[in-house]
Amino acid sequence: MTETETIVTIEPMTAGGTSQWRNGLVELLIDAVASGASVGFLDPLSNDQAAAYWDIIFAQWQSGERLLFIAREGDRVLGSVQLVLASLPNSMHRAEVQKLMVHTSARGRGLGTALLMAAEDEASSRGRHLLVLDSRAGDPAGKLYEKLGYVRAGVIPAYAQSSSGRFHATAIYYRDLRDRDPSLLGDNDVPTRECR
Protein backbone atom coordinates (compact mmCIF):
# COMPACT_ATOMS: atom_id res chain seq x y z
CA MET A 1 0.00 0.00 0.00
CA THR A 2 1.36 3.42 -0.93
CA GLU A 3 1.11 6.53 1.22
CA THR A 4 -1.82 7.82 -0.84
CA GLU A 5 -3.88 4.61 -0.63
CA THR A 6 -6.49 4.24 2.09
CA ILE A 7 -8.35 1.21 3.31
CA VAL A 8 -12.09 0.82 2.84
CA THR A 9 -13.80 -0.09 6.09
CA ILE A 10 -17.20 -1.79 6.33
CA GLU A 11 -18.74 -1.24 9.75
CA PRO A 12 -22.08 -1.16 11.53
CA MET A 13 -23.42 2.19 12.67
CA THR A 14 -22.26 3.06 16.17
CA ALA A 15 -23.56 5.52 18.76
CA GLY A 16 -21.43 8.44 17.54
CA GLY A 17 -21.93 7.59 13.88
CA THR A 18 -25.22 9.35 13.35
CA SER A 19 -23.59 12.76 13.57
CA GLN A 20 -20.23 11.64 12.15
CA TRP A 21 -21.61 10.05 8.96
CA ARG A 22 -24.83 12.04 8.43
CA ASN A 23 -23.46 14.42 5.78
CA GLY A 24 -21.77 11.60 3.90
CA LEU A 25 -24.95 9.53 3.90
CA VAL A 26 -26.93 12.54 2.64
CA GLU A 27 -24.44 12.93 -0.22
CA LEU A 28 -24.60 9.17 -0.94
CA LEU A 29 -28.40 9.21 -1.23
CA ILE A 30 -28.41 12.29 -3.48
CA ASP A 31 -25.75 10.65 -5.69
CA ALA A 32 -27.75 7.41 -5.90
CA VAL A 33 -30.94 9.20 -6.93
CA ALA A 34 -29.13 11.44 -9.43
CA SER A 35 -27.55 8.36 -11.03
CA GLY A 36 -30.96 6.74 -11.55
CA ALA A 37 -31.14 4.36 -8.59
CA SER A 38 -34.61 3.30 -7.56
CA VAL A 39 -34.38 3.95 -3.83
CA GLY A 40 -37.70 5.64 -3.17
CA PHE A 41 -37.02 9.20 -4.32
CA LEU A 42 -37.39 11.20 -7.51
CA ASP A 43 -34.65 13.31 -9.05
CA PRO A 44 -33.69 15.97 -8.13
CA LEU A 45 -33.48 15.14 -4.42
CA SER A 46 -32.78 18.12 -2.22
CA ASN A 47 -30.28 18.12 0.61
CA ASP A 48 -33.12 18.78 3.09
CA GLN A 49 -35.17 15.82 1.81
CA ALA A 50 -32.16 13.49 2.01
CA ALA A 51 -31.27 14.72 5.51
CA ALA A 52 -34.87 14.22 6.70
CA TYR A 53 -34.80 10.65 5.36
CA TRP A 54 -31.60 9.82 7.26
CA ASP A 55 -32.99 11.34 10.46
CA ILE A 56 -35.89 8.87 10.23
CA ILE A 57 -33.48 6.00 9.59
CA PHE A 58 -31.30 7.02 12.54
CA ALA A 59 -34.38 7.03 14.82
CA GLN A 60 -35.27 3.51 13.65
CA TRP A 61 -31.66 2.43 14.17
CA GLN A 62 -31.72 3.80 17.72
CA SER A 63 -34.92 1.87 18.44
CA GLY A 64 -33.25 -1.35 17.26
CA GLU A 65 -35.68 -2.11 14.45
CA ARG A 66 -33.15 -1.30 11.71
CA LEU A 67 -29.43 -1.96 11.33
CA LEU A 68 -27.19 0.24 9.19
CA PHE A 69 -23.80 -0.64 7.70
CA ILE A 70 -21.43 1.88 6.15
CA ALA A 71 -18.54 1.53 3.72
CA ARG A 72 -16.05 4.32 4.23
CA GLU A 73 -12.62 5.31 3.05
CA GLY A 74 -11.16 7.43 5.78
CA ASP A 75 -13.81 10.05 6.54
CA ARG A 76 -15.67 9.62 3.24
CA VAL A 77 -18.84 7.51 3.01
CA LEU A 78 -18.73 5.29 -0.09
CA GLY A 79 -21.75 3.08 0.50
CA SER A 80 -24.36 1.76 2.86
CA VAL A 81 -26.95 -0.96 3.32
CA GLN A 82 -29.78 -1.43 5.81
CA LEU A 83 -31.24 -4.50 7.47
CA VAL A 84 -34.78 -4.24 8.81
CA LEU A 85 -35.53 -6.86 11.47
CA ALA A 86 -39.01 -8.34 11.33
CA SER A 87 -40.65 -8.03 14.75
CA LEU A 88 -43.87 -10.07 14.78
CA PRO A 89 -43.76 -13.39 16.69
CA ASN A 90 -44.00 -15.52 13.54
CA SER A 91 -41.30 -13.57 11.66
CA MET A 92 -38.34 -13.51 14.04
CA HIS A 93 -36.33 -15.64 11.61
CA ARG A 94 -36.27 -13.06 8.82
CA ALA A 95 -35.06 -9.60 7.86
CA GLU A 96 -35.29 -7.32 4.85
CA VAL A 97 -32.24 -5.91 3.09
CA GLN A 98 -32.90 -2.34 2.00
CA LYS A 99 -31.18 0.43 0.08
CA LEU A 100 -27.85 -1.08 -0.88
CA MET A 101 -26.08 2.00 -2.28
CA VAL A 102 -22.52 2.56 -3.51
CA HIS A 103 -21.35 6.02 -4.57
CA THR A 104 -20.89 6.30 -8.33
CA SER A 105 -17.21 7.17 -7.79
CA ALA A 106 -16.60 3.90 -5.91
CA ARG A 107 -18.48 1.35 -8.00
CA GLY A 108 -16.73 -1.71 -9.37
CA ARG A 109 -14.59 -2.19 -6.27
CA GLY A 110 -16.66 -4.94 -4.60
CA LEU A 111 -18.23 -2.64 -1.99
CA GLY A 112 -21.77 -3.82 -2.74
CA THR A 113 -20.72 -7.41 -2.10
CA ALA A 114 -18.83 -6.47 1.08
CA LEU A 115 -21.79 -4.48 2.45
CA LEU A 116 -24.23 -7.28 1.68
CA MET A 117 -21.98 -9.87 3.32
CA ALA A 118 -21.68 -7.71 6.45
CA ALA A 119 -25.48 -7.51 6.63
CA GLU A 120 -25.78 -11.27 6.10
CA ASP A 121 -23.24 -12.05 8.82
CA GLU A 122 -25.08 -9.82 11.29
CA ALA A 123 -28.43 -11.35 10.33
CA SER A 124 -27.02 -14.84 10.93
CA SER A 125 -25.59 -13.83 14.30
CA ARG A 126 -29.07 -12.65 15.31
CA GLY A 127 -30.78 -15.86 14.18
CA ARG A 128 -32.26 -14.25 11.05
CA HIS A 129 -31.71 -16.83 8.34
CA LEU A 130 -34.25 -15.70 5.72
CA LEU A 131 -33.46 -12.44 3.94
CA VAL A 132 -35.69 -10.71 1.40
CA LEU A 133 -35.06 -7.70 -0.81
CA ASP A 134 -36.35 -6.02 -3.92
CA SER A 135 -34.63 -4.35 -6.84
CA ARG A 136 -35.67 -2.72 -10.09
CA ALA A 137 -36.00 -5.56 -12.59
CA GLY A 138 -33.11 -5.58 -15.04
CA ASP A 139 -30.74 -3.51 -12.90
CA PRO A 140 -27.13 -4.74 -12.54
CA ALA A 141 -27.81 -5.22 -8.81
CA GLY A 142 -29.92 -8.26 -9.71
CA LYS A 143 -26.85 -10.04 -11.08
CA LEU A 144 -24.97 -9.29 -7.86
CA TYR A 145 -27.79 -10.70 -5.73
CA GLU A 146 -28.03 -13.85 -7.84
CA LYS A 147 -24.23 -14.32 -7.74
CA LEU A 148 -24.42 -14.23 -3.94
CA GLY A 149 -27.15 -16.88 -3.80
CA TYR A 150 -30.35 -14.82 -3.81
CA VAL A 151 -33.25 -16.38 -5.67
CA ARG A 152 -35.59 -14.25 -7.76
CA ALA A 153 -39.08 -15.12 -6.57
CA GLY A 154 -40.94 -13.02 -9.11
CA VAL A 155 -41.48 -9.66 -10.76
CA ILE A 156 -44.19 -7.08 -10.10
CA PRO A 157 -44.86 -4.84 -13.12
CA ALA A 158 -45.11 -1.03 -12.74
CA TYR A 159 -44.28 -1.33 -9.03
CA ALA A 160 -42.44 1.95 -8.56
CA GLN A 161 -41.26 5.06 -10.32
CA SER A 162 -37.62 5.52 -11.19
CA SER A 163 -35.86 8.70 -10.15
CA SER A 164 -36.90 10.15 -13.53
CA GLY A 165 -40.58 9.40 -12.85
CA ARG A 166 -40.93 6.43 -15.25
CA PHE A 167 -42.73 3.32 -13.93
CA HIS A 168 -40.73 0.11 -13.79
CA ALA A 169 -41.03 -3.49 -12.68
CA THR A 170 -39.51 -4.68 -9.42
CA ALA A 171 -37.93 -8.09 -8.83
CA ILE A 172 -38.35 -9.75 -5.43
CA TYR A 173 -35.46 -11.86 -4.11
CA TYR A 174 -34.88 -14.10 -1.10
CA ARG A 175 -31.94 -15.96 0.41
CA ASP A 176 -31.88 -18.63 3.08
CA LEU A 177 -28.60 -18.15 4.92
CA ARG A 178 -28.69 -21.71 6.23
CA ASP A 179 -27.89 -22.84 2.68
CA ARG A 180 -24.19 -21.99 2.35
CA ASP A 181 -23.49 -24.30 -0.60
CA PRO A 182 -20.68 -22.51 -2.46
CA SER A 183 -21.98 -23.81 -5.80
CA LEU A 184 -24.98 -21.52 -5.34
CA LEU A 185 -22.74 -18.47 -5.19
CA GLY A 186 -21.53 -18.70 -8.77
CA ASP A 187 -17.89 -17.64 -8.79
CA ASN A 188 -15.43 -19.58 -6.65
CA ASP A 189 -13.76 -16.36 -5.49
CA VAL A 190 -16.77 -15.39 -3.36
CA PRO A 191 -15.92 -16.51 0.19
CA THR A 192 -18.34 -18.77 2.01
CA ARG A 193 -19.20 -18.30 5.66
CA GLU A 194 -20.37 -20.89 8.12
CA CYS A 195 -23.83 -20.49 9.56
CA ARG A 196 -23.64 -19.36 13.15
* Kind of pairing between the strands at 66-73 and 130-136: unpaired
Is 3 domain-assigned?
no
Kindly state the average pLDDT of the residues 17-25: 94
Is 190 domain-assigned?
no
pLDDT of residue 6: 74
Is 101 domain-assigned?
yes
Kindly state the average pLDDT of the residues 43-57: 97
- pLDDT tens-place string over residues 127-177: 999 999 999 999 999 999 999 999 999 999 999 987 777 899 999 999 999
Domain limits for position 174:
8-185
The CATH number given to whatever domain includes residue 149 is 3.40.630.30
**What proportion of the chain, given as a percentage, has pLDDT over 70?**
88
Number of domains comprising the chain: 1
Is 136 domain-assigned?
yes
Residue 13's identity, in one-letter code, is M
Is 1 domain-assigned?
no
Is 177 domain-assigned?
yes
Is 22 domain-assigned?
yes
Please, are residues 53 and 85 in contact by the beta-carbon 8 Å criterion?
A: no
Confidence of residue 189 (pLDDT cuts 50, 70, 90): very low
Buried-exposed string 104-122: b where 16+ CB fall within 10 A, e elsewhere: eebeeeebbbbbbbbbbeb
